Amino acid sequence: AEVADWLGLMHFMDAMMLITIAEYVEPVSDENVTVMDTELSNVSVRLYLPRQAPEGLRRAVVFFHGGGWCLGQAGMKPYDRLCRWTSNRLNAVVVSVNYRLAPKYRFPVQFEDVYAVTKFFLQSSVLAQYGVDPARVCVAGDSAGGNLAAAVAQQLLEDPEVETKLKAQALIYPALQTLDLDLPSYRDNAEKPILPKSLMLRFWSEYFTSDPALQEAMASNRHVPPASSHLFQLVNWSSLLPEEMKRGHAYAGPRAGSPELARRFPGFLDARAAPLLVPDARLRRLPRTYVLTCQHDVLRDDGLMYVGRLRAAGVPVTHYHARDAFHGSMLFASGFTELAVGHKLTNSYIDWLDDNL
């Protein structure tokens, strides 16, 4: 992808998207789940409807796939398997959202797509159509999808048009902040597989722009304008991380940069893109939460800081930390690259949903 981009043959993300295309599977129903591609609120979704008879109203999960807001789709084999298993094991309706992707579409389009689907689905008439209990709905997602799930859960609390409240949110190794990109997890895992620091910085930058100036500033941790430096306290890992994660690292904190980038690309300071930037008062009303973090992951500390802030705000949080896993490990639960750790993380996630939804 880097070579194709350097030679001008293809945009880096378009080349990376070939992985998504290669992993695509058709919406095939089986004896347990009816699967179909459709639209909700004019956004493409893959819908999973369990065939087993319900004992009453069903549970529901609205799921957002990962891929750095640039890659992935609901029809990729790992996501299709995960949503199929979730629907079957929980006897639940699962809505997997195909939001539009960068670089063609920038923030806030991805957020607006997933929010539109969730808000539409939470209407009483739509829940009734699918036999869903309005008191048992969850949003979930992995990586960039975990980012979107956290942002949706926050925004729903501020929307007077939404009467149905989420019962839970499940965030799988989520990306949650854009301010400090030199956390201990970024330092420790800069060259680890699947998501090295350089790729994560590119994902963050592409979410907002293809201008290399933002990515370069993020790489030096000097992209936040002086006027926004008060936000650093919300992501200050020296006070928010457990001691074991801070060991061996000295806190320096981000350095203020030119206000020009924030003026041109204000999205990276928007809580809809960086859910850790909301004040504690907004966190207190969030539903019960599951957060999965992996030790060998640049995004590890994003999740850990959110766990700490949610617990301090009084939100019931279940935190599963996988010490033997790397970013994306849950997706390695089926197919040629099947790994035991993928099954372990998948079972943790689905078991939590079963107990809490």
Domain ranges of the chain: 1-178+271-355, 184-267
Residue 16 is predicted with a pLDDT of: 86
pLDDT at 54: 86
Structure tokens at 239: 């006070």
pLDDT of res. 277: 97
Can you give the pLDDT at residue 291? 98
Q: Hey, is 320 helix, strand or coil?
A: strand
Q: Which residues are catalytic?
A: 143, 297, 327
Task: Look up the pTM and report it.
Answer: 0.96
Per-residue burial over 223-237, b = 16 or more CB atoms within 10 Å of its CB, e = otherwise = bbbeebeebeebbbb
Place of tokens 């295309």: 21
Q: CA-to-CA distance for 255 and 105, rounded, in angstroms?
A: 29
Residue 335 pLDDT grade (very low, low, confident, very high; cuts 50, 70, 90): low
Question: How high is the pLDDT of residue 337?
Answer: 67
User: Would you say residue 236 has pLDDT above 80?
Assistant: yes
Mean pLDDT of 253-261: 90
Residue 350: is its pLDDT beyond 80? Answer: yes
Instruction: State the pLDDT at residue 209.
Output: 96
Q: CB–CB of 318/290 below 8 Å?
A: yes
Question: For residue 11, what pLDDT band results from cuts at 50, 70 and 90?
Answer: confident
Q: What is the pLDDT of residue 14?
A: 87
pLDDT at 10 (0 to 100): 84
CATH number of the domain located at residue range(s) 1-178+271-355 in this protein = 3.40.50.1820
